[in-house]
Chains A and B, each alone.
Chain A
Amino acid sequence: MTDRPLWELAADVRGGTLSPVELTEACLARIARLDARLRAFITVDAARAREAARERAAEARRGRIAGPLHGIPLAYKDLYAVRGLPCSAGTKLDQYFVAEREATAVSRLAAAGAITLGTLNLSELALGPFGDNAHRGDPQNPWRAGHVTGGSSSGSAVAVAAGLACAALGTDTGGSIRLPAAACGVVGLKPTYGRVSRAGVLPLAWSLDHVGPLARTVRDAALLLGLLAGPDPHDATASRRPVPDYVAALAVPVTGLRVGVPRNYYWDGVDDAVVEAVREAIALLGRLGARIGEIALPDPRVLVDVANVLARVESAAVHARLVREQPHALQPAVRARLEVGFRIGAVDYLQAARLRARLTRAFLPDVFGEVDVLAMPTIPEPAPTLEAVRAGTTAEVVRRMGRFSRLTRPWNALGLPALSVPCGFSPAGLPIGLQLVGRPFDEATVLRAGHAYEQAAGWWRRRPPLD
């Protein structure tokens, strides 16, 4: 049951053929059976989940449906303020982040009827693209133990891939939703900057942070985005633009959709199996009626530099007290990345922010005058082993982190919507992700392309060998 797409389960609950109690118990049983080895959760709130499930079941019997997620068990990266639960942010400290109120994203999904299972593991402070966490136990890739899950929303991807939760929320500052989605074989969506409120979510770098869903199917992600998006008085960066019906948009065929394949950067040094799978995925979009063409993009390396400066300075500011007062509580690579921020001056930081504005203004008409969607790999290689990503000096580990997130990071700098969809497996059986990027606030088109591909390719039906 927990293998099925969220939208199907939600329809069954609304139709009275599935009880929220039965569904919640199925998730809790799976967590109890598998999570000691997968390490997806930091806190499981079984008692309150059961209580909420009983309430949702009673409401459903009376014909009272709270919303599209009535009785659906979800879980949240441990960076979100969730009422009644501690927020460690993946640090050693059980309660690192105390928010004024519950995260808006969590409240919106709860108002739509969702049940909270608990909070999910992550890279310490969301600073790390591999998803490992020495303090909280390394999440394991459900497809192959001993391999990384991708990060930083590692527990979110594992929980969805392993059927521990029907969907999850993550955050994405340089790829932290898309990288684990690709490495674990699930769908991950980073919306446009400002599309979803970040109120009540611990920042890493506020200029680059995005809130978004990880889910089993693109349709699930579209449903969740429709509930999450919109203005919020508690987040000044949340856009006031109207929210489209993202699920309805999936029905529009991709015939004539212009898909651009970058000629430069996004294929450099990418693993052969990844190149082959992503090229085949793009070819399938072509067979579905999309118009495929190559495009030369403005040099993404400047964007990566800009993102690195903004991320390093802002994260150092957010966590300055922790770095200065308890530096040895942090993992070495996390500490090293934070300390870089203290060495960057205010003028360099502001020049990076000004450059970002100019680069974005130039990129949009240049690129989206020619194409509707860009297609490329999400991760440059299938998930490596935990042992491999930790080998060497701290400096080597930090550089390896930069290489793993180099295909996702430019889209945080530009703030554009970016979706990762499963598109095959390596010879070792590890998932590969197709990344689709669209115009600002055009999640509808990105989701439409992802849905068309997903349904034609069918990879989403595969499940990791856990049972």
Chain B
Amino acid sequence: MTDGADRPLAGDVADLLAAIERAAADLGLAEEPARFVAALEAGAPRDDEPGAAT
């Protein structure tokens, strides 16, 4: 954006990236994005639970 009234958005982005950098500081070396889907699959109900396939 070039409109002067929208300049604060640049500050918002800087704050956002600083927050990500802080939170990511202690990520394990082996952490990778694909573990997100693996976590969902692992967290699903077991076959003998109410939400399991019938």
**A352 lies within 8 A of B20 (CB):** yes
For A431-449 the 0/1 string (1 means CB < 8 A from B) is 0000000111111110010
Q: Which residues of B contact A356 (CB under 8 A)?
A: 33, 36
Q: Which residue of B lies closest to A308 (CB)?
A: B16
Q: Which residues of A contact B41 (CB under 8 A)?
A: 239, 241, 440-441
**B33 lies within 8 A of A305 (CB):** no
Q: Which residues of A contact B27 (CB under 8 A)?
A: 351, 354-355, 358
**A353 lies within 8 A of B33 (CB):** yes
For A323-341 the 0/1 string (1 means CB < 8 A from B) is 0000000001001100110
Other A-B pairs, 17, CB within 8 Å; known A355-B24, A368-B43: A241-B53, A244-B52, A244-B53, A305-B23, A335-B1, A340-B9, A343-B10, A351-B24, A355-B27, A357-B36, A361-B39, A393-B3, A399-B12, A439-B43, A442-B44, A442-B45, A445-B50
The reply on A275 being an interface residue by CB < 8 A is: no
Of the candidates B13, B33, B44, B50, the one whose C-beta lies within 8 Å of that of A440 is B44
Total number of A residues with any Cβ neighbor in B under 8 Å? 56
Q: Which residues of A contact B45 (CB under 8 A)?
A: 439, 441-442, 444-445
**A442 lies within 8 A of B51 (CB):** yes
Q: How many A-B residue pairs have CB under 8 A?
A: 142
Given A242-B53, A438-B51, A444-B51, A344-B33 contact (CB < 8 Å): no
The reply on A360 being an interface residue by CB < 8 A is: yes
Q: Which residues of A contact B54 (CB under 8 A)?
A: 244-245, 248-249
The residues of B with any CB-CB pair to A shorter than 8 Å are 1, 3, 5-10, 12-13, 16-17, 19-21, 23-24, 27-28, 31-37, 39-45, 49-54
**A244 lies within 8 A of B51 (CB):** yes
Q: Which residues of A contact B53 (CB under 8 A)?
A: 241-244
**B20 lies within 8 A of A351 (CB):** yes
The reply on A456 being an interface residue by CB < 8 A is: no
Of the candidates A306, A343, A361, A394, the one whose C-beta lies within 8 Å of that of B13 is A343
**A352 to B16 alpha-carbon distance, docked (Å):** 11
**A393 to B36 alpha-carbon distance, docked (Å):** 37
The reply on A404 being an interface residue by CB < 8 A is: no
The interface centre, meaning the residue of A242, A248, A309, A393 with most chain B CB atoms within 10 A of its CB, is A393
Of the candidates A244, A355, A395, A439, the one whose C-beta lies within 8 Å of that of B9 is A395
* 14 sampled A-B residue pairs with Cβ under 8 A: A242-B53, A244-B52, A305-B19, A306-B20, A309-B16, A336-B6, A350-B33, A353-B33, A355-B23, A358-B28, A360-B40, A368-B43, A394-B5, A442-B45
Q: Which residue of A lies closest to B14 (CB)?
A: A343
**A357 to B53 alpha-carbon distance, docked (Å):** 25
Q: Which residue of B lies closest to A193 (CB)?
A: B40
Q: Which residue of B lies closest to A360 (CB)?
A: B39
Interface residues of A in 277-315 (CB under 8 A from B): 301-302, 305-306, 308-309
